[in-house]
């Protein structure tokens, strides 16, 4: 018998590339099929170190393309699916919500249907990788648990909440074996510089203003991307069908404090005078409907599946910054072309 086929969608993106790398390297008994449309956020350069592996294959397919997805699932036995492909940036969802409905909602249902019709549902499972943003926003206290009611505020989180609901509904209605995880903000290498940390690193290196939304008081709970990828691996193999697992780093930061910390480290690494980078901080108009605070209670995952974050934030953050400084070519390539139009539309005269 050949290797079991596992589809990982969105494997050319930020988190997906870490998940693909981990599965290809740790599971030579599995054949990993990376299904990705290569949108602006997808980049095969992120997977250079695994592209020659004999248990890895890349297919450029848009998950909303029903015929192409059905043809893939019907042409060979798909044991399991780890679904990460998504439109993932909140600000883009505010200007263009329909793309988020198409990929995040319709694309997820296309995959569910194909897996239900052709997949190895007796033995495998459909894993939906989701976000803590489906729970809405917290005040100063409390944390999201798996029982927190869904209350999404942005078009992005509404689309992810909707896709979570479809995944749950396929479990209830068709007994499809599914599992869902909802994770907090990730940081690490290969993140597209529309997101806070790589955007700020890029701007500091170019002495450009650092756009902090509102008063910078919003709070996010940051988790190292490798710890997220390891949680996904654990949940894929050991999680219980029909369950949701929250994933988080117990690591809350006010945006402005995080940006100041980044500026201090960048001053040191770039041999600048202390305080130079922080002079670039510029407060700009707040994000519409900006969720105030996210914080995750990950005790279910910690107790049931014995997962916990492996890296202290100081260490992971420093490693992350080093990666962007050592990979300036990557950063320059992904910020050439359409990025400048995006940046101008989003930030000029904000």
Residues lying near ligand NAD in the complex (CB under 6 A):
9-10, 12-16, 36-39, 41-42, 62-64, 84-88, 103, 107, 129, 131, 160, 183, 185-186, 192
Told to judge if 227 belongs to the known catalytic residues of this protein, a careful annotator would answer: no
C-beta of 268 vs 288, nearer to ligand TDX: 288
CA 149 – CA 171 distance, rounded (Å): 19
Q: Residue 179 corresponds to which tokens in the numbers above?
A: 């599992």
Between 42 and 309, whose beta carbon lies closer to ligand NAD? Answer: 42
Of 62, 133, 226, 252, the one binding ligand TDX (CB under 6 A) is 133
Judged by beta carbon distances under 5 to 8 A according to partner kind, the member of ligand TDX, ligand NAD, none in contact with residue 212 is ligand TDX
* Residue 218 partner contact from ligand NAD, ligand TDX, none using kind-dependent CB cut-offs of 5 to 8 Å: ligand TDX
Q: Where are the alpha helices (DSSP H) in the chain?
A: 14-26, 66-75, 90-95, 97-100, 108-118, 155-174, 196-205, 225-238, 255-269, 299-305, 313-326, 328-334, 338-347
- From the CB of 126, what's the least distance to ligand NAD, in Å? 14
Residue with tokens 């029903």: 66
C-alpha separations of 63 from 11, 119, 176, 222, 317 in Å: 12, 16, 19, 28, 33
Q: Which is nearer to ligand NAD, 42 or 239 (CB)?
A: 42
Instruction: Give the length of the chain.
Output: 350
DSSP 246: E
| Contact residue for ligand TDX among 17, 43, 162, 218 (CB under 6 A) | 218
The residue nearest ligand TDX at its CB is 131
Pick the catalytic residue: 56, 115, 156, 294?
156
Report the nearest approach of ligand NAD to the CB of residue 55 (Å).
20
Phi first, then psi: what are they for 199, rounded to 5°? -65, -45
> Which is catalytic among the residues 62, 133, 227, 291?
133
CA–CA distance, 18 with 188 (Å, rounded to integer): 10
Choose which of 73, 100, 126, 213 interacts with ligand TDX (CB under 6 A): 213
CB-hemisphere CA count at 13 Å for 52? 2
Residues of this chain that interact with ligand TDX (CB under 6 A) are 88-90, 131, 133, 185, 195-196, 199, 211-213, 218, 220, 255, 287
* Residues annotated as catalytic (active site), given as ranges: 132-133, 156
């Amino acid at each position: 018998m050949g290797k079991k086929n596992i589809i990982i969608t969105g494997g050319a993106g930020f988190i997906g590339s870490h998940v693909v790398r981990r599965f290809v390297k740790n599971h030579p008994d599995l054949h990993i099929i990376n299904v990705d449309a290569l949108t602006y956020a997808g980049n095969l350069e992120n997977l250079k170190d695994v592209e020659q592996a004999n248990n890895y294959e890349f297919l450029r397919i848009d998950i909303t393309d029903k015929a192409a997805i059905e043809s893939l699932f019907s042409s060979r036995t798909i044991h399991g699916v780890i679904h990460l492909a998504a439109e993932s940036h909140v600000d883009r969802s505010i200007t263009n919500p329909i793309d988020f409905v198409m990929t995040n909602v319709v694309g997820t249902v296309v995959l569910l249907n194909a897996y239900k019709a052709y997949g190895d549902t007796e033995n495998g499972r459909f894993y939906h990788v989701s976000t803590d943003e489906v729970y809405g926003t917290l005040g100063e206290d409390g944390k999201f648990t798996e029982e927190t009611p869904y209350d999404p505020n942005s078009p992005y989180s509404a689309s992810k909440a909707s896709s979570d609901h479809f995944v749950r509904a396929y479990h209830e209605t068709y007994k499809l074996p599914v599992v869902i995880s909802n994770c907090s903000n990730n940081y690490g290498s290969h993140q597209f510089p529309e997101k806070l940390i790589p955007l700020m690193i890029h701007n500091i290196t170019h002495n450009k203003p650092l756009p902090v939304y509102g008063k910078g008081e919003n709070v996010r709970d940051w988790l190292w991307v490798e710890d997220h990828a390891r949680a996904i691996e654990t949940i894929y193999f050991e999680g219980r069908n029909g369950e949701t697992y929250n994933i988080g780093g117990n690591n809350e930061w006010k945006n402005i404090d995080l940006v100041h910390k980044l500026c201090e480290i960048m001053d040191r690494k770039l041999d600048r005078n202390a305080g130079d980078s922080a002079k670039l901080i510029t407060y700009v108009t707040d994000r519409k409907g900006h969720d105030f605070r996210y914080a995750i209670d990950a005790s279910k995952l910690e107790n049931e599946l014995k997962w916990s974050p492996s890296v202290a934030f100081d260490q992971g953050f420093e490693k992350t910054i080093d990666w962007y400084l050592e990979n300036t070519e990557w950063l320059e390539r992904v910020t050439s072309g359409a990025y400048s139009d995006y940046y101008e539309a989003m930030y000029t005269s904000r």
